[in-house]
Chain A
Amino acid sequence: TQLLEQSPQFLSIQEGENLTVYCNSSSVFSSLQWYRQEPGEGPVLLVTVVTGGEVKKLKRLTFQFGDARKDSSLHITAAQPGDTGLYLCAPIQGAQKLVFGQGTRLTINP
C-alpha cells in the first residue's frame, strides 16, 4: 500500500516570504500532478511533472520531481495573498484513479 505524505499540513506566512511544501511517497511513481484548491471551488491542476529530477516553473511557483521519483516539492517565491489555498499532490500510477495527498493548507497574510 502506497503511503503518501504532504508536509507541512498547515502553513501561515506573511506576504512576500518564500516557502516550500513537500510531497513524499513510499513508492516510485511514473509522474505526479500538483493541484490547488481555493475555498468553495474544486481543485485546479497546476502542473504535471514526468521526469525524475525535472524542474518546472510557473511564474513564482517552482516544482521539482525527485530523482528517485518518490518525492516532489513546490517552492513559492514572494508569496501573495492570491496563493492562499489547499495544495494537493497526486502521484500517477495508472489504475484508473488518482490518489491525492492530504494537502498543505497555505495562508498568506497581507
Chain B
Amino acid sequence: KAGVTQTPRYLIKTRGQQVTLSCSPISGHRSVSWYQQTPGQGLQFLFEYFSETQRNKGNFPGRFSGRQFSNSRSEMNVSTLELGDSALYLCASSSTGAGTNSPLHFGNGTRLTVT
C-alpha cells in the first residue's frame, strides 16, 4: 500500500510570491490534515479536510488555504509569502479523521524556504 506522497519535496520562493503544495493520501483515506512545522513553534495544525469539506481550521491567516478533490488528493496554497512562512509543511491522511483514535499517516513533507 503506497504511503502519503507530498510534492514537491523542496521549494524556494521569494517574498510576495504564492505557492501550491500537493498531497496524495493513502488509498481509501478520506481525511487529509495539513501541519506547519518550525523549530520554534513545533507542529501547528493548519486545516483538515474530509470528503472535500474543510472540517476544522487552525489559527493561521487567510493567506493559507486548502482544498480537497473528489479523489481525496489535497492541495494547500499560501499567497503573498512572508519570510516567516519558511517551514516544513506536512500532510497526513487518516481513515476516520484527525482527532480520533485512527492514526495519522504523514508524508515526508515539503520544505519551503522563502527568501
Contact = CB atoms under 8 A, between A and B. Distances in A.
Interface of A: 31, 33, 35, 40-45, 48, 50, 88, 92-103
B92 interface: yes
Interface of B: 4, 33, 35, 42-43, 45, 48, 50, 55-56, 58, 90, 92, 97-101, 103-109
Given A96-B56, A102-B42, 8 more contacts: A33-B103, A40-B108, A41-B109, A42-B90, A45-B104, A88-B42, A88-B43, A95-B56
Contacts of A96: 48, 50, 55-56, 97-99
Chain A at the B interface: mostly helix, strand, loop or mixed? loop
A55 B101 CA distance: 17
Given A42-B4, A42-B90, A101-B42, A92 B100 contact: yes
Contacts of A101: 42
Contact of B103 (A48, A50, A88, A94): A48
Contacts of B33: 97-98
A93 B99 contact: yes
B103 to A, nearest CB: 4
B48 A42 contact: no
Contacts of A40: 108
A110 to B, nearest CB: 25
Contacts of B45: 97-99
A43 B99 CA distance: 16
A103 B37 CA distance: 11
Given A42-B4, A42-B90, A88-B43, A98 B98 contact: yes
A41 to B, nearest CB: 5
A42 B35 CA distance: 11
